[in-house]
Amino acid sequence: MSSPKSIKPKIVNGPGGYILQDVPHLIDYLPDLPTYPNPLQDNPAYSVVKQYFVDADDSVPEKIVVHKDGPRGIHFRRAGPRQKVYFESDEVHACIVTCGGLCPGLNTVIREIVSSLSYMYGVKKILGIDGGYRGFYAKNTIPLNSKVVNDIHKRGGTVLGTSRGGHDTTKIVDSIQDRGINQVYIIGGDGTQRGASVIFEEIRRRGLKVAVVGIPKTIDNDIPVIDKSFGFDTAVEEAQRAINAAHVEAESNENGIGFVKLMGRYSGFIAMYATLASRDVDCCLIPESPFYLEGEGGLLEFIEKRLKEHGHMVIVLAEGAGQDLMSKSMESNTLKDASGNKLLKDVGLWLSQSIKDYFKKIQMVMNLKYIDPTYMIRAVPSNASDNVYCTLLAQSAVHGAMAGYTGYTSGLVNGRQTYIPYYVSY
């Protein structure tokens, strides 16, 4: 796979240490493109709202906590509809693709891209790409319109299908060019945004009038620049069911341990938020905070103490936690998934066994119940707050593409919708 971090940052400096980390625009390489008035200005649902259009110079600060003498710092372009657009409605031929692991809200984002394009901008030609990146060249497309997507936000998963691997930049861009697609909406996590970045580079190299737009999907919430990823709230909420079950099991058995493993390859956000929300969890293990098992201050000592004091306990573990401990006791693991992500060993099973072995050794009764709800959590439809978030993300993505921006990810920064250059979003 190619290394995508070759995009030259588009930086605009202003007074007081102001920095705009800008996103590319079609006119960067197609300077003579004509503009058109935004059709929203004639739409009765929007034209009544004062200041509906975003000022071209509006930007959003990356950091809101600043020192009084410090520079104004990095800003991102504010998302939203512009007065002028670079596509006429009947000229637009859009496509949508979903890649990587499942995440609640994927269908809502798909639905709202289709709805925004058709209801706000009068676009009629929208295609779904079947089964992730490889669908561009290996599968048939799925025609989308507001009728087809009407009910999909009530379902989990993605109606377009998804996959890992299969990113072939040349074949993908050939397919985009051959089909006459000029707006590409790519929904996926860090790997997907890396893939989108190289697609954008190739499109720019070929000089095509094609906007490439990313919408960040990461249930692990591991894209630092955005406030949080869509589906995260739903995942935290759904995780409560597993934690509650673990608590019931733990309370009902002698020296019961309810042990729940949650998602998070390299970050423990779901585990940590689910723990904070539940209030029943005694111990939360995340990759950001190393721990050890044996001896004073070790996990096993803590568990023993807790069981002696309370007679039961609940442990929540992020899948990426304790991988270093496991590799010491097992042969090293170099396996990767089709996208190149390191395949983690099941730390939950390993840790359960280590805890069982310890209590057997000290001859203390203990009942451990292990729950891995990963796929049950990922597969649910998004909750109310994620639905709102997905809708705004999708609308922002569409406004940006219509305004000629490209090579960006639509994301929430400090509570505001922004356009973030690809190289910042993975």
Ligand X SMILES: Nc1ncnc2c1ncn2[C@@H]1O[C@H](COP(=O)(O)OP(=O)(O)O)[C@@H](O)[C@H]1O
Ligand Y SMILES: O=P(O)(O)OC[C@H]1O[C@](O)(COP(=O)(O)O)[C@@H](O)[C@@H]1O
**Catalytic: 90?**
no
Contact call for residue 105 and ligand X (CB under 6 A): no
The dihedral formed by the CA atoms of 235, 241, 243 and 247, expressed in degrees to the nearest 10: 170
- 156 is a contact residue toward ligand X (CB under 6 A): no
Task: Name residues contacting ligand Y, limited to 102-161 (CB under 6 A).
Answer: none
Answer yes or no whether residue 190 interacts with Mg ion by CB under 5 A.
yes
Instruction: Give the contact letters, 293-332, x = binds to ligand X (CB under 6 A), - = no.
Output: ----------------------------------------
* 3-class DSSP state of 207: coil
Q: How far apart are CA 23 and CA 413, in angstroms?
A: 15
The 3-state DSSP class for residue 41 equals: helix
Residue 220 DSSP label: T
Assess contact for 23 and 77: CB atoms under 8 A: yes
Residue 379 gets the label, from left (phi > 0), alpha (psi -120 to 50) or beta, of alpha
- Does residue number 35 form part of the binding site for ligand X (CB under 6 A)? no
Query: Does residue 164 touch ligand X according to CB under 6 A?
Result: yes
Least distance from ligand Y to the Cβ atom of residue 263, Å: 3
- Backbone φ, ψ for residue 337 (5° rounding): -85, 180
Distance linking the first and last C-alpha atoms of the chain = 15
Is residue 106 part of the contact set for ligand X (CB under 6 A)? no
Two tokens, residue 31: 């300077």
- The helix/strand/coil state of 200 is helix
Amino acid in position 14: G
Cβ 189 to ligand Y, closest distance in Å? 4
The residue annotated as part of the active site, out of 32, 55, 174, 220, is 220
At its nearest, how many Å lie between ligand X and the CB of residue 411? 14
Residue 372 within binding range of ligand Y, rule CB under 6 A: no
How many residues sit in the footprint of ligand X (CB under 6 A)? 24
Residue 381 in contact with Mg ion, rule: CB under 5 A: no
**Could you say whether residue 322 binds Mg ion (CB under 5 A)?**
no
Q: Which residues pair with 94 in a beta bridge?
A: 126, 183
- Tell whether residue 376 is among the known ligand binding residues: yes
Site for ligand X in 109-148 (CB under 6 A): 132-133
Q: Is 319 annotated as a binding residue?
A: yes
Q: Is 100 in the site for ligand Y (CB under 6 A)?
A: yes
Residue 421 near ligand X by CB under 6 A = no
Q: Residue 129, annotated ligand binder?
A: no
Interaction of residue 263 with ligand Y, rule CB under 6 A: yes
Site string for ligand X, 227-246 (x = CB under 6 A): --------------------
- Annotated binding residues, written as ranges, equal 101, 164-165, 189-192, 218-220, 263-265, 319, 375-378
The residues of the shown chain that bind ligand Y, judged by CB under 6 A, are 100-101, 189, 191, 218-220, 263-265, 319, 337, 378
Show which residues are catalytic: 220
The residues of the shown chain that bind Mg ion, judged by CB under 5 A, are 189-191
The residues of the shown chain that bind ligand X, judged by CB under 6 A, are 1-2, 4, 99-101, 132-133, 163-167, 188-192, 194-195, 198, 339-341
